[in-house]
Amino acid sequence: MRLADDEKAMLDGAQGEAVAAAMDLLVRYGEVLGAERLVDTDNVCGANLFGSRHSLVCGSPTPDAAFSEHSLDAPTVLTIPPVKAQSYQLIGPMDTKHWQVQGLPQAEHDEIVASERYNAEHGIHLLNTCTPYQVGNVPLKGEHCAWMESSAVVYVNSVLGARTNVEGRESTGAAMLTGKIPYWGLHLEENRRGTHLVEVTTPVEANLDWGLLGYWIGEQVPEEAIPVVDGIAATPDLVRLKHFGAAAASSGGVEMYHVPGITAEARTVEEALAGRAPVQRLRYGPAERREAHAHLNATARDDAVDLVMIGCPHATLGQIRDVVRLLEGRRVHADTELWVFTPRALRHVAEQNGYARALEEAGALLMSDTCPAIGQFLPKGTRVIATDSAKQVHYLPAIMNVQGWFGTLTECVDAAVTGTWRGERP
């Protein structure tokens, strides 16, 4: 790999041992990937660097030891300096307010709080969400980023036209300290052209429609594919594209797509394909929609619902307000929980707006910073969940051994109020 002078100096230790270890990691990583050089980045979104349930069980004695071992792959404990790049903490394992609802022991709570302090002291912004683009980190078209979290990566690549691969704990940790990331994959213009053309012949309008379409596409195309979605009549919004990308990135490995005329880098199908023929043409009609719906409800058998989960990816204020309105004059069933997840910053606004109180008065709970799939927690005894998120219903049955219903927000809130799934069935 060709290194610039400032990169060589970092590698040689001019900025200390931790930065040298970070640069060494990036060089090794980049060489494996075939990257010819690094690129500057001032926008890094990484994992909670120490206080994840995973790193806790690894038993690192101090935050510096955890960072050295898990983020820098360093053989010794290094003193970690403040981060160089603008750096953001993604979703983590704990809601700092409702951690007891999660069933976390006090000791684990204390360690996670300490780790957040450590991250803040090192200059990492505590956004604590899988949707940084909803709360102030909105990269520009062409901006080189280093982000983890597949649903966020597919959103910023496609909708905003920023450039990132799906990075890992180690590469984002090293990027935070150096402001560099290997220049490969979706950082390169030539790798951002559409490859597979999806002709949509059935209406795709509501959030549920977008989740189904994304899930179906993710199942059909190979990992490196960039689908081009043609035939969309109604312009989607942030929430719909958030559901779409998250679904496509969970049933498959989609990291970028084009919806010509809507997403950032293609006005037309021809532009999305860069004038080339698609590798494959796919058709998405009513039968394909039914197929995706059946797959997403494949684990559901029992009608009694224990948990309704809303907010995957983390909910916007508009989505929270919609839940509040659907609950007006109603109460969550005594045997069911309704949990709504949002970024930490939006919970604060939701509290100011009275949404959090309205939810609590109806027997629901507004949570932030985490989600059941990442934090691996559910109400005790949960056997059946319902959600409006294709991503959450893809993961929770697999991770937590529960049944999952997938439906509209209205169907989900009805399930929370009645304790029973009465929504559409495959």
Residues that bind ligand F3S in the complex, under the rule CB under 6 A: 91, 130, 151, 246, 312-314, 341, 371, 373-374, 391-392, 395
Q: How far is the CB of 290 from ligand F3S (least distance, A)?
A: 24
* Residue placing its CB nearer to ligand F3S in the complex, 152 or 181: 152
CA dist., res. 295 & res. 215, Å (int): 9
Strand partners, 342: 368
CB of 391 to ligand F3S, least distance (A): 5
Nearer residue to ligand F3S within complex by CB, 278 or 311? 311
Q: Is residue 192 within 8 Å of 173, Cβ to Cβ? A: no
When the beta carbons of 91 and 124 are compared against ligand F3S, the nearer one is 91
Alpha helices by DSSP H, 163-253: 169-178, 207-220, 238-251
Nearest to 91 by CA among 65, 112, 118: 112
- For 389-401, b where at least 16 C-beta lie within 10 A, e where not — what string? bbbbbbbbbeebe
- Report CA 23 to chain centroid distance, whole Å: 26
Whether the link from the prior residue into 343 is cis, omega within 30° of 0, is no
Q: Cα(165)–Cα(151) distance, rounded to whole angstroms?
A: 12
Reading the block at residue 374, the tokens are 């990442």
Question: Which residue, 212 or 373, is less far from ligand F3S as judged by CB?
Answer: 373
- Considering the complex, state which of residue 91 and residue 356 has its C-beta at the smaller distance from ligand F3S: 91
Query: Could you tell me the smallest distance in angstroms from the CB atom of residue 91 to ligand F3S?
Result: 5
* Smallest distance from ligand F3S to CB 63, Å: 23
d(Cα 367, Cα 358) in Å, to the nearest integer?
Answer: 14
Rounded least distance, CB 7 to ligand F3S, Å? 32
**Smallest separation (angstroms) from ligand F3S to the CB of 136:** 17
Smaller CB distance to ligand F3S: residue 11 or 308?
A: 308
